């Protein structure tokens, strides 16, 4: 088991993943009270995908039958160059390049093919923000990071700018040691969050989160939060930018995740004048296209809240 695990990890690194860890499949039943209360109070802000397939989220064997092991992998997206923020609207670093789902999923499937060549006809399923899988819980159990006070997975030696990939398989693999919490008394993320979405450590107040407000929500952004967006129009990295562990973040080596020249050159006046045609060209393969032209322009052009 140890030799097979090391060969899988070596192949994962060759494919471009930064970290790879393994956990034995067991129940996440201990999380039921938290998630039940979370859904019960509409903490998920009506995002239906967080509510559906609840039992599957706690029991991976209901997703991929006979799951014995869970493999968690991290893909670095910390950019070599930050898009200038002065006189500019800001998008999250994860959205600089192409939508990550396809690229990371393809690499996961390549790793699964390697596993099948090594072990024969095994069962395995790949997940990247898809399916009924609690990625962050498994990433911590697999030892590749811990879920920090900002609710994101943080790796002690590499920070938090990572996409998470999960493989569920019926292979029996030697488990790694789960990661423990290393946030300590630090509250940088909570203190820096301009909307108070992280006032309770390890819990995200989703309706107050800038990422939710600018990506997921289709409702009017409340006036009380509108002035706190700090020019962010798609996502938010504030809680990551101030995390001490991101001083260890290193630039990724994935050309597809680099911003295009037109995106690098946009400034506020260009965003304000952006046509739908130019939007579709610049963001053709980008996660930003998910928001849609009208929603993005609505966020850009929102009037400031009326002062009373």
- Which residues form the catalytic set? 129
Q: What is the maximum alpha-carbon separation in the chain? A: 69
3-state secondary structure of 106: helix
Sign for the CA dihedral angle at 236, 238, 240, 246 comes to positive
Instruction: Look up residue 14 and give its two tokens.
Output: 């060759």
Cβ–Cβ < 8 Å for 258, 237: no
Tokens of 27: 């129940």
Question: Does residue 120 come out as left (phi exceeding 0), alpha (psi in the -120 to 50 range) or beta?
Answer: left
Terminal C-alpha separation, the chain: 66
Q: Which residue has the tokens 């030697």?
A: 174
Please provide the size of the chain in residues: 308
Contact 201, 215 (CB under 8 A): no
Q: What tokens were used for 37?
A: 């209360």
Token code pair at residue 47? 């995002």
Which residue, 234, 201, 202, is CA-closest to 217? Answer: 234
**Taking the alpha carbons of 35, 39, 43, 45 in that order, is the dihedral positive or negative?**
positive
Which residues, 6+ apart, have CB-to-CB distance to 76 below 8 Å? 18, 158, 161, 162, 249, 250, 252, 253, 254
């Amino acid at each position: 088991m140890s030799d097979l695990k090391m060969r899988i990890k070596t192949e994962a690194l060759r494919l471009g993943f930064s970290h790879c860890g393994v956990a034995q499949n067991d129940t996440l039943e201990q999380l039921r009270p938290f998630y039940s209360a979370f859904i019960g109070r509409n903490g998920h802000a009506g995002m239906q995908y967080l509510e559906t397939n609840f039992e599957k989220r706690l029991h991976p064997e209901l997703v991929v039958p006979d799951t014995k092991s869970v493999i968690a992998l991290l893909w670095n997206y910390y950019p070599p160059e930050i898009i200038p923020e002065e006189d500019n609207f800001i998008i999250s670093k994860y959205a600089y390049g192409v939508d990550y789902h396809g690229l990371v999923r393809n690499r996961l499937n390549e790793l699964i093919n390697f596993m099948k060549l090594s072990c024969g006809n095994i069962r395995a399923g790949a997940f990247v923000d898809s399916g009924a899988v609690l990625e962050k819980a498994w990433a911590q159990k697999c030892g590749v990071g811990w879920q920090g006070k900002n609710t994101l997975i943080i790796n002690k030696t590499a920070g938090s700018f990572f996409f998470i990939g999960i493989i569920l398989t019926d292979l029996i693999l030697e488990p790694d040691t789960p990661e423990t919490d290393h946030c300590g008394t630090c509250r940088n993320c909570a203190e820096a969050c301009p909307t108070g979405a992280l006032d309770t450590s390890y819990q995200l107040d989703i309706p107050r989160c800038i990422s939710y407000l600018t990506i997921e929500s289709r409702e009017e952004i409340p006036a009380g939060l509108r002035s706190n967006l700090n020019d962010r129009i798609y996502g938010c990295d504030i809680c990551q930018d101030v995390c001490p562990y991101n001083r260890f973040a290193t630039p990724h080596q994935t050309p597809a995740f680099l911003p295009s020249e037109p995106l690098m050159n946009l400034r506020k006046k260009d965003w304000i004048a952006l046509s739908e045609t130019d939007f579709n060209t610049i963001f053709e393969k980008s996660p930003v296209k998910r928001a849609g032209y009208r929603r993005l322009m609505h966020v850009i052009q929102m009037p400031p809240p009326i002062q009373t």
